[in-house]
Amino acid sequence: MTTGGHTQIGNIDLVKQLNSAAVYRLIDLHGPISRIQIAEQSQLAPASVTKITRQLIDRGLIKEVDQQASTGGRRAISIVTETRAFQAIGVRLGRYDATITLFDLSAKALAEDHYPLPERTQDELEQALLKAISHFIEYNQRKIRELIAISVILPGLVDPESGVIRYMPHIPVNDWPLVTALESRFDMACFVGHDIRSLALAEHYFGATQDCEDSILVRVHRGTGAGILSNGQIFIGRNGSVGEIGHIQVDPLGERCHCGNFGCLETIAANAAIEQRVRHLLEQGYQSRLTVDDCNIKAICKAANKGDPLACEVIEYVGRHLGKAIAIAINLFNPQKVVIAGEVTEADKVLLPAIGSCINTQVLKAFRKNLPVMCSALNDRSAIGAFALVKRAMLNGMLLQRLLES
């Protein structure tokens, strides 16, 4: 009986949360929008819409704006979201540092700082990270009106439900309860997520895949990873990890990968591997405007864009191997769009055609029709993926409800 009662209350709360979220989502997506339009599109009763919008207005999450009706004459009241009254912190935790960004709810970056984090144990890293976030909050206090969430993205194996980090590539972690640590320190909603999957979600909210529900993002950086979106959601699965495109074998006779296999994609498509290949060819005497002392990924892309034969050859080589793995992914998932991210996209004029020619020959004809392959729109915004998790929690009602109740 008690259990049944609890379930009932739970369901009513959940319905409330979902209805508020439905209204907020419509305003976020289509605002300025009138209450009548919201009722039509959400199929909620007009009285419910009135009640929910009242709550959202009282909390300062949405606001009314006057709008001249398109026919002229009567003024119609429309509603938009209020984005400047709330801030969230997005953190991208890298191998040796963290990028911390202050966002408002429109995803605008209000402040950003980099903190070196050389700590190599879980406890030390946790302490240093919490300290860096505290410092960042204090330093940017004037820009913060109401801080509603902190979100951290990182490479590794992340359990987004429990907020526990199971594995990181560069330090040993032992089921690191990062969300618990963040929430007990900062007393607000906190999130953790995988860096590349979160970036794929950010592209969907703010970048290149806003116009589609199913997409694949492939990012080349220290390795190669992918984020797959299906129906506008991160495809993750029960095992908690999907998209290890970097370990598809693209060359059976290739280099040994850190995973133990040979010829994995990321033995070729990774910044260090690209730089290494250029260095190797230079040492063999190939002519290029690049020199052994100046062949970082940035310089290589720049040279490729200027038509340097060696740089072009290496970027094409990377593109062909990326293309091979991406073609497999397209055949498996049939996405509406493919997005490439990472420093190497600076050489897009050389890279994208190389990827494209693989796709054209290796993907089912029906799947490659109308399939744009493009560069990330968010390449320079490394913590935006972290903010995407905050945005998701607003849109699905989880964080929204928390704000309404506080």
With binding defined as CB under 5 A, does residue 257 bind Zn ion? yes
Q: Which of 259, 272, 292, 332 binds Zn ion (CB under 5 A)?
A: 259
Helices and strands counted in the chain (H then E): 13, 15
Choices 9-17, 95-103, 263-271, 330-338 (CB under 5 A): range interacting with Zn ion: 263-271
Smallest distance, Å, CB 249 to Zn ion? 8
**Cα(380)–Cα(399) distance, integer angstroms:** 27
DSSP state of 344: G
Q: Does 321 bind Zn ion (CB under 5 A)?
A: no
Residue type, 305: N
3-class SS of residue 118: coil
DSSP code, position 238? T
Q: Which is nearer to Zn ion, 223 or 319 (CB)?
A: 223
Identify which of residues 270 and 341 has a Cβ nearer to Zn ion in the complex: 270
**Among 118-126, 183-191, 214-222, 240-248, which window interacts with Zn ion (CB under 5 A)?**
240-248
Which range, of 77-85, 133-141, 178-186, 255-263, touches Zn ion by CB under 5 A?
Answer: 255-263
Secondary structure letter of residue 336 according to DSSP? S
Q: Which stretch binds Zn ion (CB under 5 A): 21-29, 89-97, 250-258, 271-279?
A: 250-258
Shortest Å distance, C-beta 273 to Zn ion: 12
Burial 227-258 (b: 16+ CB within 10 A, else e): bbbeeeebbbeeeeeebebbbbebeeebeebe
Q: Which stretch binds Zn ion (CB under 5 A): 28-36, 224-232, 259-267, 288-296?
A: 259-267
- Asked whether the bond before 335 is cis by omega within 30 degrees of 0, the reply is no
Query: What is the identity of the amino acid at 261?
Result: N
Q: 149, 399 in Cβ contact below 8 A?
A: yes
Q: Does 204 bind Zn ion (CB under 5 A)?
A: no
325 sits near Zn ion (criterion: CB under 5 A): no
CB of 241 to Zn ion, least distance (A): 14
Cα–Cα dist 86/64, whole Å = 17
**Binding of residue 268 to Zn ion (CB under 5 A):** no
Residue 222 binds to Zn ion (criterion: CB under 5 A): no
Angle (CA) 341 278 276, round 5°: 75
Shortest distance (Å) from residue 95 CB to Zn ion: 18
End-to-end CA distance of the chain: 30
The SS3 assignment for 176 reads strand
> Given the complex with Zn ion, which of 124 and 255 has the nearer CB atom?
255
Q: How many residues bind Zn ion (CB under 5 A)?
A: 5
- What's the min distance (Å) between Cβ of 325 and Zn ion? 12
Q: Which residues bind Zn ion (CB under 5 A)?
A: 247, 257, 259, 261, 264
